[in-house]
Amino acid sequence: MAMIEITKESYRPYEENMGKTINVLNENLNAIRAGRANPRVLDRITIDYYGVQTPIHQVANIQVPEPRLITITPWDPTTLKAVERAIQASDLGINPVNDGKQLRLIFPTLTEERRRDLVKIVNRYGEDAKIAIRNIRRDGIDKHRGYLKRKELTEDNLAEFEVAIQKITDRFVAEIDAITAEKEKDLMEI
């Protein structure tokens, strides 16, 4: 039976999956609106464009002319109503102002209570990401314990793998903490 060698390549799939978890966390946090206008809040909103669910940014010009204002100008004027309905149906919580040519989204300042609710959501996303990271670590360790049972790996190699994957996990958890702390600071700014 051939022995499995632990190399830097052994950790790559786990690091890639942990990196994808960070990307998902960032996407989720970008969708949370702070008191300022951020066009990223529209990323998840789609309209039915000739039978295909299409993100708004692919059918319209989106601009931020002022810190609390987003303007949306569809390239095809017939889609204006569809964009307006999609924004109203979303969880954005902002009613667009339609002037017949473009939509204006005016972002009100957040109340203290709403800021605290958003911080709770940010922390929940952060905790979900940490759980996903830890699950990736557990899957890697379980896989390598299986190698040990089949005598394809020595106990020393398994211990080395466990220590190294824990360091990788700790690095990603610290990154999640930094990302959520930054978003929390952003939300609590007045």
* Region of residue 47 (left: phi > 0; alpha: psi -120 to 50; beta: else): beta
Within this chain, do residues 79 and 129 fall inside the same structural domain, yes or no?
no
The CATH code of the domain that includes 100 is 3.30.1360.40
In the chain, the number of structural domains is 2
Within this chain, do residues 43 and 92 fall inside the same structural domain, yes or no?
yes
Extract long-range pairs of 141-150: CB within 8 Å, 24+ residues apart. 141/165, 147/4, 150/1
- In DSSP terms, 106 is beta-bridged to 69
Between 46 and 173, the more confident residue is: 173
For position 176, what pLDDT does the model report? 96
Question: Tens of pLDDT along 68-125?
Answer: 889 999 998 888 999 999 888 887 778 889 998 999 988 877 788 888 888 999 999 9
For position 125, what pLDDT does the model report? 95
- Taking 3-state DSSP, the helix, strand and coil percentages for the chain, each rounded to the nearest 5, stand at 60, 15, 25
Q: Angle, to 10 degrees, between the axis of helix 8-30 and the axis of helix 155-188? A: 20
Within this chain, do residues 174 and 118 fall inside the same structural domain, yes or no?
yes
pTM over the 0.75 mark? no
Q: CA–CA separation, 99 vs 86, rounded Å?
A: 17
Question: Tens of pLDDT along 15-42?
Answer: 999 999 999 999 888 877 666 777 887 8
Q: What is the domain range of residue 14? A: 10-30+111-188
